[in-house]
Amino acid sequence: MKFLFPYLLCFISFFCSSQQTEDFRLVKQYYNQHRSMLGQEFKKKFDAETNNFHKASIRNDYLLFMQKMDSIENVALTAVLLKTKNLEDLGRLRIIKTSSTPETPAVPTVADKAADYPGGINELRKEVSNLFYLGGVYSEIKTIKANVAFIVEKDGTITNVEAQGDNFTFNRQAEIALYSVSKKFFPAIVNGSPVRYRFRLPLTMKLEE
């Protein structure tokens, strides 16, 4: 039974990491579906209206409603982020508690083949930028920076996303965006086998006036 326990722990950790990133995608899918349905309803109302003044009012109502929808979605994603970080912290505590050594194994940043996102680093930056919710960032400084570190697991999923920068709200949105990317990474390779890999992504964003 003791022999099987480490393998059981690995299986639980693998399931949790896959489920956590899936939670972000499910939230986004839910709100995107509702945006689509509401957009269709607003369009019907807009097309049926003949008065230009009323059309402008409908358009403004639609834009305001979508802004509120974005804000509500961000609240849901923030809750998923907190849940994810709590589960990851608990996972690290379990590993430390059951490990025969006092420290957890280091995750390499050097490999025969580094982990990579489909399409390359520029595609990753583009997707993170598209997923980034600027409405959740509060700053008097127009140029904000953060260094985002995370682990690419053997199956290409990402875990343990940590953004470090001077602006807490920017860090939080960066973490949500990374967890929400649509594709899995190509895992790092050492001696022909996939390994866990620590990936770093510097982010800089300029806020409009």
In a domain, 108, yes or no: no
Residues whose CB falls within 8 Å of the CB of residue 178, separated by 6 or more in sequence, listed in order: 128, 148, 150, 158, 161, 163, 201
In a domain, 20, yes or no: yes
- Last residue of a domain, which of 98, 113, 140? 98
In a domain, 47, yes or no: yes
Q: Is the dihedral of CA 53, 57, 60, 62 positive or negative?
A: negative
Looking up residue 152, the CATH number of its domain turns out to be: 3.30.1150
Residue with more model confidence, 208 or 61 = 61
71 and 10 within one domain:
yes
Give the pTM: 0.81
In a domain, 115, yes or no: no
Question: Which of 45-54, 87-96, 97-106 has the weakest average pLDDT?
Answer: 97-106
Residue type present at position 94: R
**How many separate domains does the chain show?**
2
Q: Which of 60, 76, 67, 3 is nearest to 35 (CA)?
A: 67
Question: Which of 48-52, 91-95, 125-129, 205-209 has the weakest average pLDDT?
Answer: 91-95
Residue 170 to residues 49, 84, 113, 148, 151, Cα–Cα distance (Å): 41, 18, 31, 11, 20
Report whether 197 contacts 187 (CB < 8 A): yes
128 and 93 within one domain:
no
Q: Is the pLDDT of residue 8 over 70?
A: no
> Could you list the residue range(s) of the whole structural domain that residue 143 is in?
121-206
In a domain, 190, yes or no: yes
Question: Which of 3-7, 67-71, 146-150, 178-182 has the weakest average pLDDT?
Answer: 3-7
